[in-house]
Amino acid sequence: MQVAPSILSADFARLAASVARVTPGADLLHVDVMDGRFVPNLTIGPMVVEALRKVTELPLDVHMMVAEPERFLADFRRAGADLITVHWEACTHLERVVSAIRDLGALAGVALNPATPVECLIDILPEVDLVLVMSVNPGFAGQAFWPRAVEKIRRLAAMRGARERPLIAVDGGINPETAQAVRLAGADIAVAGSAVFGADDPLAAIAAIRGN
C-alpha cells in the first residue's frame, strides 16, 4: 500500500523540514485545504502548495474540503498540484468538475464523506482517477477511525473489478492497525496525519502503515 502523509499534522512553522523528514518513506504528500464553510476549519491555500512545490519532488495530493471547488482548480494546478480531489458533496455538477481537473492536466479524485455511499459514483467511475473514502468526518486531524469505511472500500473495490483505476485511497484515523484493515479491504493509498507526524520516528510509522 502507498502512504500519503498529511501535512495537516506537521509543524507549519517548519514545513520544509517536516516534509523532508517524511519524504524517504512517502509516495505522495497530502495537502488538506479547508474553507471554513464545507468544513468548520480553515487551513491553507494555493500559496502554500506553491511553496511546497519548490521544496519537494513528491506528487502533491490536494484534498479540497471546499464548497464550489471549481472556483480554485486552476489556482491549485498552477501552484503545482498533481492530484486534485474534490468532495462529491460539494459538487452539483461533478462530471464537469472532474473533466475540468483533467483538462488542467492533473489527476482527478473524488472524496466521499462517511454518510455518502460509494454507489453514488457508479456512473462516473471510469472518469475518476482516485476515490478518497473518508474514514472520519472531514475537518480535523486526530479523529477516531470510522470502522464502516472498511466495508465501503470493499464495495468500491468490487465496483472497480479487474480495472486498475480508480485508485482507492482512505483518509482519517489511519494508524498501523486500521491501515491493515483497509489494505485487506482493497485500499491502494492510506493518508495519515497524526500517526506519522506525531510519531517519534515518522519513517517507522510510515513503514508500519504501509505494511508490506
Using CB atoms, what's the residue nearest to ligand DX5? 193
Distance CA 43, CA 68 (A): 16
Tell me how far CA of residue 45 lies from CA of 50, 51, 65, 112, 204, in angstroms: 9, 11, 11, 21, 30
Read off the C-alpha cell for 134: 473518508
Catalytic residue among 35, 129, 171, 188: 171
Restricting to residues 56-95, name those near ligand DX5 by CB under 6 A.
63
Q: How far is the CB of 162 from ligand DX5 (least distance, A)?
A: 29
CA–chain centroid gap for 205, Å, is 18
Residue selected from 33, 106, 131, 141 as contacting ligand DX5 according to rule CB under 6 A:
141
The secondary element (H helix, E strand) that includes residue 5 is strand 2-5
Residue selected from 15, 143, 165, 207 as contacting ligand DX5 according to rule CB under 6 A:
143
Residues 91-130, mask of contacts with ligand DX5 (x by CB under 6 A): ----------------------------------------
CB of 56 or CB of 140, closer to ligand DX5: 140
Residue selected from 35, 61, 129, 171 as contacting ligand DX5 according to rule CB under 6 A:
171
Q: Using only C-alpha atoms, what is the Rg of the chain?
A: 16
In the annotation, is 32 catalytic?
yes
CB of 36 or CB of 142, closer to ligand DX5: 142
Residue 169 phi, psi (nearest 5): -120, 155
In the annotation, is 11 catalytic?
no
30: contact with ligand DX5 by CB under 6 A:
yes
DSSP 81: -
> For the residues of 18-66, what is the DSSP string, one character each?
HHHHHGGG-S-EEEEEEBSSSSS-B---HHHHHHHHHH--SPEEEEEE-
Residue selected from 1, 18, 22, 32 as contacting ligand DX5 according to rule CB under 6 A:
32
* Residues within the interface to ligand DX5 (CB under 6 A): 6, 8-9, 30, 32, 63, 136, 138-143, 171-174, 191-195
What positions carry a catalytic annotation? Answer: 32, 171
